[in-house]
Each structure stands twice: as structure tokens, then as C-alpha cells.
């Protein structure tokens, strides 16, 4: 026969389990705290180097922070500022655009982006009401908002079907209408932002716009460093792009960087 476990034994087992769980949780959290401290230290050192005018050192420290923890709007913004001070037009504009994607509507990022474009002879995009609404949230947040609105609508609809008297019909119609409106607006924003993900920034100086995807092809125009282009398709070492002026052609892949890269940003810092 099996012996019953005594109360003291159960308490002892419970204490061991609690201790083991606490230790495991500590071991999981401690490395994250150490990593966060390291990243904050790199970021702070980068800021000090930037304040002292040591822009190359600041870039090195910011990139090291990126390699450890991935991109954030503040890191991209500071990277862009350092590139701006070095007069590296393309990489400054690129990182401002990436920072703005992660933190849409940030007035400091937008102001520095517009200032950089104006100083480097690029045309700033006009600020319209639609663009301001569009930039309230980024793609991920619009997706979350739409998903939450749809889930809430389904929840209230289910309650209304199961227990009709719980929510009066007029109140249900108001709530359902508001949630569906939020869902439709979010869906429109997600679709629009998804369609705008194929933009890139020219990072090569005086890039040639060629008529075909070959190095020997003739040049139809030149594109300024820092100009934003729409990426249509790729062929070998060339990419077909469309410029803001309406011109299109092929440029070398190395001359353009996508604002939203398809690969993981944390793997490489530009």
C-alpha cells in the first residue's frame, strides 16, 4: 500500500517548489536586466560622445546598442542626428524615416527630418490632414487597434445574442457602430501603410538612373543622395524604382536602403 504524504512533507515540497520557481524566475529576469543596463550604458555613452562632437564614436556606440537590443525610435533618431552632423545625407534621412515609422507623429523627428531635407536640397513632403491622421499610429498599433475593436464587437454581439436583455438595443447599436467604425478605419490605415512599405532612401551620392538593369546601360537621370523612391522590383544587382518627380529606372541595389527592411533590423545597423 502507498503511504499517505504527511502535512509536513507537503509543506516541505511546496517550499522547495516555490524556491525552485523563484530561482528560475530570477535566472530568467537577471540577464534581461543586465542586458538592459548594458544597452542604456551604451546609449548614454553615445549621447555624451555626440554632445562632445565625437560623432564617429557616437555612431559606433549607438550601433553597438542596436546589435544588443534591436532598433528603437530613440536610437534611430540619435543615429540620424549623428549622420546629419557628419553631412551623410542618405543615412540621416533613412534613419529619420525609420524612427518616424516606429514613432509616427513625433514632432522632434518630423522637424529634424524636414530641416534635413530643406538643408540638403530635398523637397519636404507637404503635411496634410490625412497624413496627420495616418501618422497617429504605426502599422503594428493600427493592427492591434483593429483587432481589439473586432474582438470587442464579437464579444458584445455574443452577449446580445445569449442574453438580449443585458444590453438594450439602442445602446448595443451605438457600441456596435462605434466598434465597426474603428475597425474599418484601422483596416484602411493598415492597408494603406502596407502598400507604402516599399519605399527606400537613396544612400549613394549622385546615383545613376539607368534604362535597363545592366551596368552598361545608359543613364536617363541622376538621383540625389537622400531622395525617397518607391521600390517596384529587383533584378540581380539592380532595383527598379520610381522617383517623386515621376521618373523611373534601374539603380544599383547598394545605392538604396528600404525604409522598412524585409530582414530583421536587429541583425545590422546602418
In this structure, is residue 222 part of a structural domain?
yes
Mean pLDDT of the region 124-149: 76
User: Last residue of a domain, which of 195, 229, 245?
Assistant: 195
Q: In this predicted structure, what is the pLDDT of residue 265?
A: 34
Give the span between the Cα atoms of 25 and 120, in whole angstroms: 51
pLDDT tens profile 218-270:
888 888 899 999 888 888 889 999 887 788 899 999 999 998 876 433 344 55
Q: In this predicted structure, what is the pLDDT of residue 84?
A: 95
pLDDT tens profile 67-77:
887 788 899 99
199 phi, psi to nearest 5 deg: -105, 150
Q: In this predicted structure, what is the pLDDT of residue 127?
A: 64
In this structure, is residue 132 part of a structural domain?
no
- pTM, to two decimals: 0.72
Lowest-confidence pick of 15-29, 45-59, 138-152, 211-225: 15-29
In this structure, is residue 175 part of a structural domain?
yes
In this structure, is residue 108 part of a structural domain?
no
Sign of CA dihedral 137, 140, 146, 149: negative
In this structure, is residue 128 part of a structural domain?
no
Highest mean pLDDT, choosing among 30-34, 52-56, 102-106:
52-56
User: Last residue of a domain, which of 195, 210, 232?
Assistant: 195
Share the mean pLDDT of the chain: 80
Amino acid at each position: 500500500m502507498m503511504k499517505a504524504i504527511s502535512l509536513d512533507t507537503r509543506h516541505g515540497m511546496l517550499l522547495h517548489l516555490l524556491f525552485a520557481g523563484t530561482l528560475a524566475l530570477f535566472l530568467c529576469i537577471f540577464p534581461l536586466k543586465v542586458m538592459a543596463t548594458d544597452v542604456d550604458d551604451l546609449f548614454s555613452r553615445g549621447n555624451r560622445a555626440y554632445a562632445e562632437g565625437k560623432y564617429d564614436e557616437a555612431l559606433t556606440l549607438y550601433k553597438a546598442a542596436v546589435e544588443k537590443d534591436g532598433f528603437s525610435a530613440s536610437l534611430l533618431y540619435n543615429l540620424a542626428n549623428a549622420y546629419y552632423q557628419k553631412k551623410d545625407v542618405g543615412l540621416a534621412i533613412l534613419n529619420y524615416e525609420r524612427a518616424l515609422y516606429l514613432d509616427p507623429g513625433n514632432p522632434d523627428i518630423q522637424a529634424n527630418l524636414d530641416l534635413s531635407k530643406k538643408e540638403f536640397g530635398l523637397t519636404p513632403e507637404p503635411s496634410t490632414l490625412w497624413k496627420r491622421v495616418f501618422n497617429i499610429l504605426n502599422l503594428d498599433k493600427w493592427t492591434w487597434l483593429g483587432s481589439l475593436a473586432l474582438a470587442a464587437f464579437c464579444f458584445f454581439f455574443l452577449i446580445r445574442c445569449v442574453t438580449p436583455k443585458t444590453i438594450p438595443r439602442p445602446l448595443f447599436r451605438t457600441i456596435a457602430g462605434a466598434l465597426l467604425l474603428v475597425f474599418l478605419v484601422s483596416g484602411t490605415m493598415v492597408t494603406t501603410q502596407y502598400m507604402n512599405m516599399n519605399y527606400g532612401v537613396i544612400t549613394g551620392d549622385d546615383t545613376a538612373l539607368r534604362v535597363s538593369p545592366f551596368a552598361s546601360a545608359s543613364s536617363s537621370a541622376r538621383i540625389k543622395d537622400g531622395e525617397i523612391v518607391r521600390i517596384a522590383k529587383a533584378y540581380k544587382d539592380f532595383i527598379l524604382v520610381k522617383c517623386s518627380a515621376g521618373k523611373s529606372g534601374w539603380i544599383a541595389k547598394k545605392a538604396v536602403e528600404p525604409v522598412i527592411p524585409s530582414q530583421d533590423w536587429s541583425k545590422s545597423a546602418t
